[in-house]
Amino acid sequence: MNRGASSQRIFFTKGDGVAFERLLGECTALFAAEVHAYCLMPNHYHLLLHCPHGGVSQYMQRLGSIYSRRINTRMGGDGPLFRSRFRSILVDTPEYLAQVGRYIHRNPRDLSPRVKLTDYRWSSFRHYAGLSTPPGWLHTSTLLSMCAGDYAEYVNDDAKHRPLFVGDLNAAIEMVVDEQLPDGTRDRRGLVRVISIALLDHCQGDVRMELQRRLELPSAAAMRMATKRARLKLTASPELERALYRVIDLLAA
């Protein structure tokens, strides 16, 4: 994923979205890559990208540089459009692949006013839901084959008690912090730790054990105190609480 510098918009017109989608296809052909899912939001985007022969960085660099030139040329700018280098998570299990695809397709739920996923033009979800024919560069078969029932129903399901999978906890938390919190946020590492501690209230089994291992809290009493402080910080910060639930959504089965 990547987002605009200082959280600025990166898509301004319908033509921008169309141009970005066209670039996805061009880069896919150039690097023999596979796009399995995508979502374009006003100030950021997500891709589920597979490069069997390598070249992820080259793909993303070309995508970002050509698109940035388009926007700067049209709007008379000359500065960076995107905040920095893209953020990536290695997806290395089938369970996590399904989770990440679901997370990307649920992204438009953050828009205000809330939009139905099937009505959102700038996402691959409409292709998965059978509402339009997928472009040749979009690979839908893998995610569809992993869903036992209706894929659209799986993505839309708001069940509150989905089990969490470990995935890549640190990368998932850091990606959500990048996505949700403003540039220049002070004590970014501290925020990542607060979210990690707050997750203890929402997980069990392997995920809880892995969190406890990574947090290195010396005793049960230290864990209780850290959890209490994290809860207070979440209560005082709606942005932090929203980031926590975005992480849960990313890790939920």
User: What does the block give as tokens for 252?
Assistant: 């939920």
* Region 176-203 average pLDDT: 80
Q: What is the mean pLDDT of the chain?
A: 89
* 3-state SS assignment for residue 9: coil
Residue 2, pLDDT above cutoff 80 = yes
What does the pLDDT read at residue 126? 95
What does the pLDDT read at residue 189? 82
Q: What DSSP designation does 88 have?
A: -
State how far the alpha carbon of 244 is from the alpha carbons of 55, 104, 117, 149, 183, in Å.
32, 16, 22, 28, 18
Residue 40, pLDDT above cutoff 70 = yes
The CATH code belonging to domain 2-156 is 3.30.70.1290
Phi and psi, residue 79, nearest 5°: -100, 180
What does the pLDDT read at residue 187? 72
pTM of the model: 0.85
State how far the alpha carbon of 209 is from the alpha carbons of 76, 121, 192, 224, in Å.
52, 40, 18, 15
Return the half-sphere exposure (C-beta side, CA atoms, 13 A cut-off) of residue 186. 0
* Region 43-66 average pLDDT: 95
* Region 169-183 average pLDDT: 78
What does the pLDDT read at residue 63? 97
What does the pLDDT read at residue 160? 57
Using CA of residue 9, residue 13, residue 18, residue 23, what is the dihedral sign? negative
Q: Of the candidates 140, 190, 128, which has an alpha carbon nearest to the alpha carbon of residue 34?
A: 140
Percentage with pLDDT > 70 across the chain: 95
What does the pLDDT read at residue 161? 58
State how far the alpha carbon of 135 is from the alpha carbons of 20, 61, 127, 170, in Å.
13, 22, 9, 33
Distance CA 81, CA 206 (A): 40
Residue 106, pLDDT above cutoff 70 = yes
Distance CA 191, CA 63 (A): 30
User: What does the block give as tokens for 168?
Assistant: 């890549």
Beta bridge partners of 52: none
- When comparing pLDDT for 187 and 92, which is higher? 92
* Region 23-46 average pLDDT: 96
Residue 70 one-letter amino acid: R
Residue 182, pLDDT above cutoff 70 = no
Instruction: Kindly report the number of other CB atoms within 10 A of residue 184's CB atom.
Output: 8
Domain boundaries, given as residue ranges, for the chain: 2-156, 169-251
Residue 181, pLDDT above cutoff 80 = no
What does the pLDDT read at residue 143? 95
Would you place residue 183 in the very low, low, confident or very high pLDDT band (cuts 50, 70, 90)? low
What does the pLDDT read at residue 95? 86
- When comparing pLDDT for 127 and 176, which is higher? 127
* 3-state SS assignment for residue 78: coil
Return the half-sphere exposure (C-beta side, CA atoms, 13 A cut-off) of residue 129. 19
Distance CA 146, CA 151 (A): 9
Residue 45 one-letter amino acid: Y
Lowest mean pLDDT among 38-42, 56-60, 70-74, 148-152: 148-152
- When comparing pLDDT for 78 and 73, which is higher? 73
